[in-house]
Amino acid sequence: MNDFDFEFQSIRQRYKGPEERDLHLKIYEYGNDVLEVNLINKHFSRLRRSLQKQVVWMFIVMIITLLVKISLNFYSSIINFLLLFWLIIKVWSISSLVKNEKFIFCYDFGLQIQTTTFLTKSNYFMAASSIHDIVINEVLENFDFHYLLIVRTKGVLFRKKPIIPIFKHLKPCGDCLHIIYKHLNKTMRKTCHE
């Protein structure tokens, strides 16, 4: 088993300036035909704590405003609505915070993509017979070019989803995607020649 560790900046982090790297890339090669790639958000725990503190403070503010309203017989539904709306947005932000994204590629079996968030873990599997190829695609978004690692599908899956992006939440930079693609391509070529 070979394993490789790298650190990169995400696209979001790169636009913030020369700050620390926020993504940790781990690549594991299990034999000739199996590759596991794990992309970890290094700032997950810090972001989670920050959002949790904001939710707690907002909850305290809501309780205080409720007590003030009851004691002064002052009822304002607009304030309640705004506080509740803000609280819902923060809770949604916590629940959608991505901890890591990974995929396991087995040449004869298929590709499993897994995304772990604060509360959930989602898995998506596609059989090897549905994979046409895996490429890096250049995308224009907000007048800027980004790179995405995508799976081009074939067969029945092609009619439903012709393109499936990998690492769509953490958005790694192009350098990170090139290293992943190099290892993935090496694994695909090894098994083709054997």
Task: Give the tens place of pLDDT for each residue, 3-17.
Answer: 888 888 777 766 666
Name the region of 142 (left: φ>0; alpha: ψ -120 to 50; beta: rest).
Answer: left
Q: Which two tokens stand for residue 131?
A: 């994979």
pLDDT of 27:
93
Answer whether residue 161 shows pLDDT above 60: yes
Mean pLDDT of 92-113: 91
Q: Are 79 and 64 in contact (CB under 8 A)?
A: no
pLDDT of 13:
66
Q: What percent of the chain has pLDDT over 70?
A: 89
pLDDT of 84:
82
Q: Are 102 and 38 in contact (CB under 8 A)?
A: yes
CA–CA distance from 35 to each of 1, 65, 86, 121 (Å)? 10, 54, 42, 20
pLDDT of 124:
94
pLDDT of 37:
94
Maximum distance among all alpha carbons in the chain? 80
pLDDT of 121:
93
CA–CA distance from 180 to each of 29, 37, 134, 169 (Å)? 12, 7, 11, 16
Q: Which of 180, 122, 129 has the alpha carbon at shortest distance from 150?
A: 180
pLDDT of 17:
67
pLDDT band at 179 (very low <50, low <70, confident <90, very high): very high
> Residue 137 CA to chain centroid, in angstroms?
17
pLDDT band at 72 (very low <50, low <70, confident <90, very high): low
